[in-house]
Amino acid sequence: MQDETKDAIDELHAMLDRADVIVSFTGAGISTESGVPDFRSPGSPWMVNKPIPFEAFVASRAARIEAWRRKFTMDDHYRGAGPNRGHLALARLVREGRSPGLITQNIDGLHQVSGIPDDKVVELHGNGTYATCLSCGWRHELAAIRPIFETTGEPPVCVVCGGHVKSATISFGQAMPQKEVYRAQELALEADLFLVVGSSLVVFPAATLPVIAKRNGARLVIVNREPTELDAIADFVVRAEIGAALERLA
C-alpha cells in the first residue's frame, strides 16, 4: 500500500473516532470483495441478465418468466457470498452504538448477515433474498418458489391472493419505497459524520442524501475505489480498496 493511501486511511479512522453519530451509506463497491458482481463493472453477469423493467414485468407473462430466469441465474453467481471486512466494520459501528442505522443501495442482504438488525438497515432498492406479492405484500421465500418455477416454467403467483410474485427489489420503473426514503433522510439529518462506502452516488436518492447531511452540518467522508459525483463537496475522500480501508474496525 502506498504511503499516501495509508495516511488517508489513518485520517479516516481518526475522523471516525472523533464522530458521535456516524451514518453509513453503502453501494455495490462494498460487496465486490464478497464476490457479488457489480452491476456496472465490465463483463459483469448483470449485463446479460439485466433486471426486467417493472412495467414489462407487470404487463407480460413472458417477461415475468424471463425475469425469474435471470434472477435465479444471478443468484447462482453469488451463492454463498458472505459479509467481508467492510460489512463487519460497519456492523461494529452499529453494535457499539456509534451508528443509529445504515442506508444501502445493495439488495444482497449482507449487512443483515454481518449482524446489523433488520430495523437498522434502510434498503433503498429493496432486497433480492426473498420475494413479495405485488398485490397483497405477502412475503414468499425463494427456496419455495424456485423448485416450482423450475419444474413448471410458470411465473410464481401468490398463495394468498393469486397476485404476481416478484423479487423484493425495486426494479427500474418501480416507485421508490417511501418509508425507506423518509427513514434515510432522517438518518442523514441525524449524522454528524456521513460515511459513503462503495457508491458512485449517481442515482437518486443516492446523490441527494450526502448533500442533505452536509447541509445540516455533518462531515461528508467518501470511501470508494473510483471518483464519485460528490468528491468535490466531501470533507474527505479515501480512494482505496474498501476492505483495506475499513478492516481496522472489523
Residues forming the annotated binding site for Zn(2+)?
133, 136, 158, 161
Which amino acid is it at 110? L
Strand order in the sheet with 165-169: 139-140, 126-133, 165-169
Q: Given candidates 1, 160, 203, 233, which one binds Zn ion under the rule CB under 5 A?
A: 160
Neighbours of 216 (CB within 10 A): 13
Which residue's CB is nearer to Zn ion, number 133 or number 221? Answer: 133
- As to burial, measured by CB atoms within 10 angstroms (0-12 exposed, 13-18 middle, 19+ buried), residue 18 is exposed
Q: Is 125 a catalytic residue?
A: yes
Subset of 130-149 contacting Zn ion (CB under 5 A):
133, 135-136, 138
Find the shortest distance in angstroms from Cβ 148 to Zn ion: 16
Binding mask 163-192 for Zn ion (x = CB under 5 A): x-----------------------------
Radius of gyration of the chain (CA): 19
Which residue's CB is nearer to Zn ion, number 34 or number 167? Answer: 167
Binding mask 89-128 for Zn ion (x = CB under 5 A): ----------------------------------------
d(CA 179, CA 176): 9
Which amino acid is it at 151? T
Residue 44 makes contact with Zn ion by CB under 5 A: no
* Cis-peptide, bond into residue 205, ω within 30° of zero: yes
User: Active-site positions?
Assistant: 125
Binding site for Zn ion (CB under 5 A): 133, 135-136, 138, 158, 160-161, 163
